[in-house]
Amino acid sequence: MLVQLLTHTPEPEKIVAAAARLCYSDSGIDDLLSASTEQHARLIEKILSLGHFSVLEHVSFSFGIEGVSRACSHQLVRHRLASYSQQSQRYVASDAPFPAVEPPTLRQYPELQQRYQQLFGQVYQLYREMLDAGVPAEDARFVLPNAAETKLVMTMNARELHHFFSLRCCRRAQWEIRDMAKEMLLLCRAAAPLLFADSGPGCLRGACPEGEMCCGHAAEVREEYAN
Ligand SMILES: Cc1cc2nc3c(=O)[nH]c(=O)nc-3n(C[C@H](O)[C@H](O)[C@H](O)COP(=O)(O)OP(=O)(O)OC[C@H]3O[C@@H](n4cnc5c(N)ncnc54)[C@H](O)[C@@H]3O)c2cc1C
């Protein structure tokens, strides 16, 4: 899996702080960006603690993601407040070796792992034969598995990223999208440390919100994210 931060709104913390400043002071538009770094930091801390998250919508982050499965991307695109561009299986035919994700759990079952890999060989062969016979790629792709690798460009604003990290960094989330979310969070924290300081699974900010579905390891998770 490769997750890259392609670009983001320039000076994201300054923009968010400026929007917050407009709400809480009588500053004119010209003054909004002139506050000191310390003032920006105080305002960002304030809006995050108050839950005044709408100001986070002014800044967006665009990611390039590759080497994830279609099973993962299908979960990702359930997040509706984002923009996606995904490599098409209609216009781009897969070449050998068949690019597919293998779940790490399979390593514990070498015989099944071998059959899993063999099956991909057979699927790919059929897929290729269908294309060579003239079956359109949009139909040949029906034999491709959930494991088929995909590539996407995705843009989310910082408010939706907070929501996404709450759900998908949580241990209840499936391992692949969780790994992806963690990579994204690391990149966001590097680009805008104040905006994403407390971002991550819900249990970082209080009791676990998962109720009886709680993983029971909140203390461990908090320690992981503190580090
Ligand atoms: C652990 C886990 C297990 C899951 N299991 C399943 C499953 O078994 N089956 C399944 O179908 N899905 C499942 N999902 C997906 C889940 O149901 C959501 O579709 C997905 O997490 C997107 O989250 P969302 O709807 O909160 O947020 P987003 O689409 O990211 O939207 C963000 C927020 O905007 C608001 N919003 C967005 N659109 C609307 C709207 N139309 N109307 C009102 N408010 C809106 C909501 O407040 C929403 O929380 C699972 C998710 C997780 C994390």
Q: What is the pLDDT along the chain (227 residues), one digit of tens a residue?
A: 999 999 999 999 999 999 998 888 887 887 878 878 888 899 999 999 988 999 999 999 999 999 999 999 999 999 999 999 999 888 888 776 678 999 999 999 999 999 999 998 999 999 999 999 999 999 999 999 999 999 999 999 999 999 999 999 999 999 999 999 999 999 999 999 999 999 999 999 999 999 889 999 999 999 999 88
What is the dihedral sign for C-alpha 121, 127, 131, 132? positive
Q: Coil, helix or strand for 105?
A: helix
Q: Choose one of 72, 154, 167 to mutate for the ligand 1 pocket test, by most ligand atoms within 8 angstroms of C-beta.
A: 167
Residue nearest to ligand 1 atom 49, measured at CA: 163
Catalytic residue list contains 107: no
Check residue 39 and give its pLDDT.
86
The confidence score (pLDDT) of residue 163 equals 97
So what's the pLDDT on residue 93? 81
Q: Return the axis-axis angle of helices 37-50 and 12-24, rounded to nearest 10°.
A: 70
Beta carbons of 125 and 144 less than 8 angstroms apart: no
Report the C-alpha gap between 149 and 49 in whole angstroms. 39
Catalytic residue among 168, 189, 205, 222, which? 168
For the chain, the straight-line distance linking the first and the last C-alpha, in angstroms and rounded, comes to 22
Which residue puts its alpha carbon closest to atom 14 of ligand 1?
75
Res 96: pLDDT: 65
pLDDT at 27: 78
Q: What is the pLDDT of residue 136?
A: 93
What local confidence, expressed as pLDDT, does residue 17 receive? 93
